[in-house]
């Protein structure tokens, strides 16, 4: 047990001394997750609304596919994206492999089914009276979508938190597409995996504590937003 205690105190020293290697992984993680979440919400919310609100041929199949992809393995996403953006792939000329942009694409694909499926469920659970009232008032198009999404804001916050939790903790996509390059594409999770395997338990603990702190800060922030919208 001594090595755990020693590792914990060394981890605190790395954090408070602003160890550059530690904070480089934190900065990369923050930049990556913010980009991934922005893309996921920008694409996922409209798709989720359309899937939950409109009736069209093949809707049930798409809905089932979105629910099935909730458990999509990260390594499979990494493999698919790697095949497309590698030098031999159709998108190889964009040089996305071993870059934060490429990692963001993979994480967006990973989180997108979560936002689409949960948004569709939230829209489906809206009361019919609300839709009828909006139609009576002449709401249509983007006004209808914005109003329905606003009424489902709590469910959408849960969708966003779930998606964020999925991407901030994943390793497969980041490792395969980013390559875990020090000072460039190394994230908190890939650094923990590498450093713990090398025996640097203190750095692994330090990064683990910072990852917990980031997740806690995100949850507190979303709770604050929910409280403000309630009042």
The model's pLDDT over 61-81, given as tens digits with 9 standing for 90+, comes to 998 999 889 888 999 999 999
68 is in which domain, residue-wise? Answer: 2-230
What is the pLDDT at residue 231?
Answer: 58
Evaluate whether 112 touches 40 at the Cβ level (below 8 Å): yes
Phi, psi of 88 (to 5 degrees): -90, -5
**pTM, to two decimals:** 0.87
Q: Which residue do the tokens 């009576």 mark?
A: 136
What is the pLDDT at residue 86?
Answer: 93
Question: Is the Cα dihedral 9, 12, 17, 22 positive or negative?
Answer: positive
- What are the DSSP calls for 86-115, one per residue? STTSTTGGG--TTSHHHHHHHHHHHHHHHH
Is residue 229 scored above 80 in pLDDT? no
Average pLDDT on 119-142 reads 73
Percent of the chain exceeding pLDDT 70 equals 89
The domain total for the chain is 1
CATH number for the domain spanning 126: value is: 1.10.3720.10
């Amino acid at each position: 047990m001594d090595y755990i205690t020693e590792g914990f105190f060394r981890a605190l020293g790395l954090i408070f001394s602003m160890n550059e290697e530690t904070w480089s992984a934190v900065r990369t993680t923050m930049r990556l997750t913010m980009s991934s979440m922005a893309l996921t919400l920008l694409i996922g919310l409209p798709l989720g609304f359309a899937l939950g609100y409109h009736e069209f041929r093949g809707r049930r199949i798409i809905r089932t596919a979105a629910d099935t992809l909730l458990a999509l393995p990260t390594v499979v996403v990494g493999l698919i994206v790697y095949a497309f953006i590698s030098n031999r792939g159709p998108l190889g000329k964009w040089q996305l492999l071993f870059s934060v942009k490429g990692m963001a694409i993979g994480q967006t694909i990973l989180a997108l089914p979560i936002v689409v499926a949960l948004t569709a469920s939230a829209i489906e659970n809206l009361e019919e009276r609300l839709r009828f009232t909006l139609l009576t008032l002449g709401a249509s198009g983007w006004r209808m979508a914005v109003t329905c999404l606003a009424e489902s804001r709590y469910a959408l916050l849960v969708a966003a938190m779930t998606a964020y939790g999925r991407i901030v903790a994943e390793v497969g996509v980041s490792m395969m597409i980013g390559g875990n390059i020090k000072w460039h594409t190394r994230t908190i999770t890939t650094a923990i995996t590498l450093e713990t395997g090398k025996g640097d338990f203190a750095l692994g603990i330090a990064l683990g504590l910072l990852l917990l702190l980031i997740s806690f800060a995100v949850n507190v922030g979303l709770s604050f937003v929910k409280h403000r919208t309630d009042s």
